[in-house]
């Protein structure tokens, strides 16, 4: 579904991704784990067209999207729930969800908004509330809900559990599993490597801009190097 080959991504003179190649098959949950500054968010930003690689290619469902602008990539079926949520804090929950559907003109937007509100009942209770006044967990739900409003085939999740209490972390991971069971393919970036590897079919380990290891989630959970570096020994 997604096939990234040898991408090199820079911020000015600083290289953030070095010959990175990953692929995601339809129906999978694929995790990217790595320390602070490894380049995880950069990878997701590059897939969603906020950044473009200097060299290398990104293919999505057979189409070359390497240089496509972000709105074209949303249209192609990729949606990004960014790190730090990036919701519009001066707008209501309703308006944020509407913005998630900005590329769509079909008649089913209302139905899909209902589906998102059924998945996140707290957002329904706070439908008219200013998004900036939501709790951290509710803002994360809104960020995921907004990403779902474009009806993505591939959902990119950047640190969905960051800063959340343990019960909410469990809730978010359950939602990720449900979405996947309903047919959404997921590429998830997490510092909570344990939980991410538990739910991922496959995963990649990113270290200072380089993919250093890839295997099934299960195999990485018991890999001594991964245990030592990312799973607290």
Ligand X SMILES: Nc1ncnc2c1ncn2[C@@H]1O[C@H](COP(=O)(O)OP(=O)(O)OP(=O)(O)O)[C@@H](O)[C@H]1O
Question: Does residue 13 belong to the site contacting ligand X (CB under 6 A)?
Answer: no
Nearer to ligand X, 41 or 180 (CB): 41
Identify the residue whose tokens are 């809730």: 171
Quick one: which segment of 1-9, 79-87, 121-129, 217-225 binds Mg ion (CB under 5 A)? 79-87
Answer for which of 2, 4, 7, 16 binds ligand X (CB under 6 A) is 16
Phi-psi region of 147 (alpha: psi -120 to 50; beta: other; left: phi over 0): alpha
Report the partner that residue 65 touches, choosing among ligand X, Mg ion, none (CB closer than 5 to 8 A by kind).
none
**Which one, 15 or 92, has the nearer CB to ligand X?**
15
From 32-40, 53-61, 164-172, 220-228, give the range in contact with ligand X by CB under 6 A. 32-40
Our CB check for ligand X shows the closer of 34 and 152 to be 34
Find the shortest distance in angstroms from Cβ 166 to Mg ion: 21
Nearer to ligand X, 40 or 151 (CB): 40
80 makes contact with ligand X (CB under 6 A) = no
Q: How many helices (H) and strands (E) does the chain have?
A: 10, 10
Residue 42 near ligand X by CB under 6 A: yes
Asked whether position 107 contacts ligand X by CB under 6 A, the answer is no
The separation between the first and the last C-alpha atoms of the chain, rounded to the nearest angstrom, is 34
Contact by Cβ (8 Å): 4, 177: no
Asked whether the CA dihedral 137, 40, 86, 142 is positive or negative, the reply is negative
Query: Applying CB under 5 A, which part among 18-26, 75-83, 139-147, 191-199 lies near Mg ion?
Result: 75-83
How many beta carbons lie within 10 A of that of residue 50, not counting itself?
A: 15
CB 118 within 8 A of CB 179: no
Q: Using the rule CB under 6 A, is 33 a contact of ligand X?
A: no
Q: Does 56 bind ligand X (CB under 6 A)?
A: no
Q: List the x/- string, 123-152, binding to ligand X by CB under 6 A.
A: ------------------------------
- Return d(Cα 154, Cα 53) in angstroms, integer: 20
DSSP string, 175-230: HHHHHHHTT-EEEEEES-HHHHHHH-SEEEEEETTEEEEEEEHHHHHT-HHHHHHH
Binding site for ligand X (CB under 6 A): 11, 14, 16, 34, 36-42, 83, 191
């Amino acid at each position: 579904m997604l096939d990234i080959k040898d991408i090199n991504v820079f911020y000015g003179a600083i290289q953030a991704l070095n010959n990175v190649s990953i692929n995601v098959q339809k129906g999978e949950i694929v995790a990217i784990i790595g320390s602070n500054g490894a380049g995880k968010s950069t990878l997701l930003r590059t897939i969603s067209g906020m950044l473009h690689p200097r060299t290398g290619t990104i293919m999505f469902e057979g189409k070359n999207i390497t240089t496509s602008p972000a709105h074209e990539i949303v249209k192609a079926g990729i949606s990004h729930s960014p790190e730090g949520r990036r919701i519009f804090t001066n707008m209501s929950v309703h308006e944020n969800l509407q913005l998630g559907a900005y590329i769509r003109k079909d008649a089913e937007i209302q139905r899909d908004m209902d589906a998102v509100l059924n998945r996140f009942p707290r957002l329904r209770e706070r439908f008219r509330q200013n998004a900036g006044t939501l709790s951290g967990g509710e803002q994360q739900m809104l960020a995921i809900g907004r990403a779902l409003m474009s009806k993505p085939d591939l959902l990119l999740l950047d640190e969905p559990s960051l800063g959340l209490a343990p019960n909410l972390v469990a809730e978010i991971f359950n939602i990720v599993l449900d979405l996947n069971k309903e047919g959404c393919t997921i590429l998830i970036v997490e510092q909570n490597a344990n939980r991410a590897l538990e739910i991922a079919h496959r995963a990649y380990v990113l270290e200072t801009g380089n993919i250093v290891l890839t295997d099934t989630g299960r195999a990485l959970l018991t890999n001594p190097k991964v245990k030592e570096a990312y799973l607290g020994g």
